[in-house]
Amino acid sequence: SQTIHQWPATLVQPVGSPLSLECTVEGTSNPNLYWYRQAAGRGLQLLFYSVGIGQISSEVPQNLSASRPQDRQFILSSKKLLLSDSGFYLCAWSVDNTIYFGEGSWLTVV
């Protein structure tokens, strides 16, 4: 069966430190992959999506970047975190015209 894993689940980072959130999909090949962010009390905002290795599309300008070094691996990064980067980050993938989400990662920037 197809599954998606996301880690770490919780992260507390100081302002100015780097970030790396990782997402891995199992049980499929060449999936579309997505990074969403959910700020407190809000719906989800699409940050990045990828249709293949090395192919990244950014939806909003910001302090974050994404990379897809392998077919089933999607990484969200930052060189220097800002307080405004705090939030709940969700990796997602699409299959059969449906989008499924990972467990999410809580990021608190202090």
Partner 1 sequence: AQTVTQSQPEMSVQEAETVTLSCTYDTSESDYYLFWYKQPPSRQMILVIRQEAYKQQNATENRFSVNFQKAAKSFSLKISDSQLGDAAMYFCAYYVEGSNYKLTFGKGTLLTVNP
**Residues 74/68, Cβ–Cβ less than 8 Å:** yes
Nearer of residues 83 and 97 to partner 1, judged by Cβ? 97
Torsion angle of alpha carbons 2, 43, 11, 70, nearest 10°? 40
Q: Rule CB under 8 A: which residues touch partner 1?
A: 32, 34, 36, 38, 42-46, 49, 51, 57, 59, 88, 90, 92, 94, 97-104, 106
Q: Which amino acid is at 66?
A: A
Q: What is the CA radius of gyration of the chain?
A: 13
Nearer of residues 33 and 75 to partner 1, judged by Cβ? 33
Least distance in angstroms from the C-beta of 17 to partner 1 = 23
Q: Which amino acid is at 4?
A: I
Looking up tokens 């202090």 gives 110
Nearer of residues 78 and 105 to partner 1, judged by Cβ? 105
Least distance in angstroms from the C-beta of 29 to partner 1 = 16
Least distance in angstroms from the C-beta of 6 to partner 1 = 10
Residue 4: name the closest of 106, 92, 68, 75 by CA.
Answer: 92
Least distance in angstroms from the C-beta of 36 to partner 1 = 8
